[in-house]
Structure 1
């Protein structure tokens, strides 16, 4: 019995260009079915990920024939910032779509250090495709979001982005979300000009009282209106745990004394993936301060650089992934076990 061949193409597809489309054409030539793994799914928009996974799906479909669309399947996969968990999620999802007995081939090209994932699936065959020169999604996003006129940007992008995708982007640029993405893109560019060190340290505070978790709603310019754990930049001469407690008090007016907060420290973990923040290389030490049940939750109020501070029941958090800033869903999952693998 002949085994069905299924090609797997992995990417974020954050502005689909002709180099990426070439991967799919190669995949369709190799296999009866193709699976597009949509990375960085479910998370909130940011400058590296301005399009949600359903929008990326629409862009990928725009340039395909009806017959190809019938052969294409989509597998959204979240960022775990943990290769073991990410590999397992991709393997499980692809196997569920392709079937246990399928002959699976991973189609890709060696772009840079971010292409290491191609070697993460030794049980699957690998087919490398030559990369089209001078085609890069990061450069295309800069053109699209830095131009005064999106139509002029799309004209400049014409040699690298197909007409159906340009038409989709032109329509999308009329939505209010385009202006929000432009503002945050500009804010990140200004941030990187100001903060030029290889990396910066921050301290974060995951505070739980019984089954409730304290979150803050950000003012911006980064992640405006997204929910986050309290935290911020480490000051000169400051310990990381002291930074987390200081930021907690400044942002929420948390009413307990710093010594009482420190006594509730349950654990800490470092989150240092190079891509965890669109602003640059930010390494954070997140601290879990766990308090038992209280007669009433401590009164909090948003202050400093946040709009609001609020207690959430932990059962609410799993549905909030797309509303959480940067990798804060992953931070919460680390301490509270929100994701069921």
Structure 2
């Protein structure tokens, strides 16, 4: 028996397979650390439940004695594998020091390759515990409609712990589910529209981190996906645009901000590629983020238009508190350029 066992997962929602992994970890070590992934993300069909809601579902699935041995720790996605692995190691180190650690997991598919990144930790790789998948559970929840909730929960009886069913039954009456169902339907139709393509599509986009007088220009999304969330100005690259031309066009279309070419050229600090396979729910999307700094000049006037319900200059000091209000990985784009998270 090792000193501590670690389980990493998203638990969206908690199902019987998750509980089996947890109990295997409890049999392996006197102390278990659950690293709850996708913490501090805005709600979306992929991130339907907040990390605190998922933590409560986990607690409901355990006995009192088991709860005393389990510590639940929120873990950001970060969209940067090397940095994410370092964050995992730091979270465990903070809690158990140099103790022997066993990582408990299941190789479900290519998304499970992270389990190989933690040598010299021991790896306990388990076979699939139950024929259940959280993605399918969420799909059933989103597609059922308001009158179908009881039927969905009844179909979950052999797939999730009783506590998860009770939690979701109560959660469904909170003001989240209708918007998630609408966004789910939009994303499903979007992916179906590309299903006949001879190859899986890869989309190319641009985003802008535009800083001025210690403020950053943000837009609030007017449409799904992410309606109402804050985002960077940006969009898809047009067939006849360069990346830079697309960035300038999106800036003008979404915020009304027109700057002289020489002003933009002098303000450009860097361009970074964001290409994590899971960064967008629309499909594989690679963004080229352009970082501009206009210095300490007066903030230019902006006005939301096109895909933006509004455009606003936001103080850099306010961004960290807004983390859970950002679309996709846009908070982490800002962090990459502005260093918002602790090192």
TM-score by length of 1: 0.95
Contact kept, 8 Å, 1:255 with 1:299, in 2: the verdict is: no
Q: Does 1:22 align with 2:20?
A: yes
Q: How far apart, CA to CA, are the structure 2 residues paired with 1:89 and 1:340?
A: 11
Question: How far has the Cα of 1:259 moved from its partner?
Answer: 5.0
- Over residues 93-150 of structure 1, what are the superposed CA-to-partner deviations in whole Å (9 max), with x where a residue is unaligned? 111122x242210011111111111111102111112203521111111111111211
Residue 212 of structure 2, aligned match among 209, 214, 223: 209
Point out where structure 1 has 5 or more consecutive residues left out of the alignment: none
Equivalent-residue separation in structure 2 for 1:264 and 1:204 (angstroms): 15
Structure 2 match to 1:177: 176
Asked whether the 8 Å contact 1:46–1:181 carries over to 2, the reply is: yes
Moved over 6 A (4+): none
RMSD: 1.4
Match of 2:66 in 1: 68
**Cα separation, 2, equivalents of 1:335 and 1:150:** 43
Report the 3-state secondary structure (helix = DSSP H, G, I; strand = E; otherwise coil) of the residue aligned with 2:278.
coil
**Cα distance, 1:328 vs. partner?**
0.4
Aligned-partner SS, 2:35: strand
Contact 2:48-2:180 at 8 Å conserved across structures = yes
Q: Separation in 2 of the partners of 1:319 and 1:335?
A: 17
Change (3 A) 1:321 1:61: same
The answer as to whether partners of 1:255 and 1:300 remain within 8 angstroms in 2 is no
Match of 1:305 among 299, 307, 315: 307
Equivalent residue for 2:129, pick from 106, 127, 132:
132
Secondary structure of the equivalent of 2:323? helix
Match of 1:283 among 264, 267, 286: 286
Contact in 2 for aligned 1:46/1:278 (Cα 8 Å): no
Query: Partner of 2:226: helix, strand, or coil?
Result: coil
C-alpha distance after superposition, 1:212-233 (max 9, x if no partner): 1100011121111111110011
C-alpha contact 2:221 2:231 (8 A) present in aligned 1: yes
**Farther off after superposition, 272-281 or 153-162:** 153-162
Q: Hey, what does 2:80 align to over in structure 1? A: 82
Aligned to 2:11: 13
Separation of aligned partners in 2, 1:159 and 1:259: 63
Residue aligned with 2:14, SS = coil
| 1:75-114 matched pairs, under 5 angstroms | 75-98=73-96, 100-114=97-111
Cα contact 1:252–1:303 (8 A) shared by 2: yes
Counterpart of 1:164?
Answer: 163
What corresponds to 1:265 in structure 2?
Answer: 268
TM-score of the superposed pair, with normalisation by structure 2 = 0.95
Aligned to 1:150, what secondary structure does the other structure show? helix
Q: Distance in 2 between matches of 1:150 and 1:96?
A: 41
Task: Report whether the alignment pairs 1:223 with 2:226.
Answer: yes
Q: Which stretches in structure 2 are left out of the alignment for 5+ residues?
A: none
Is the CA contact 2:16–2:130 (under 8 Å) kept in the aligned structure 1? no
Residue in structure 2 matched with residue 337 of structure 1 by the alignment: 339
Does the CA contact (< 8 Å) of 1:75 and 1:94 recur in 2? no
Indicate yes or no: 2:240 matched with 1:237. Answer: yes
1:190 equivalent to 2:193? Answer no
Distance in 1 separating the partners of 2:81 and 2:286:
18
Q: C-alpha separation between the residues in 2 aligned to 1:314 and 1:113?
A: 36
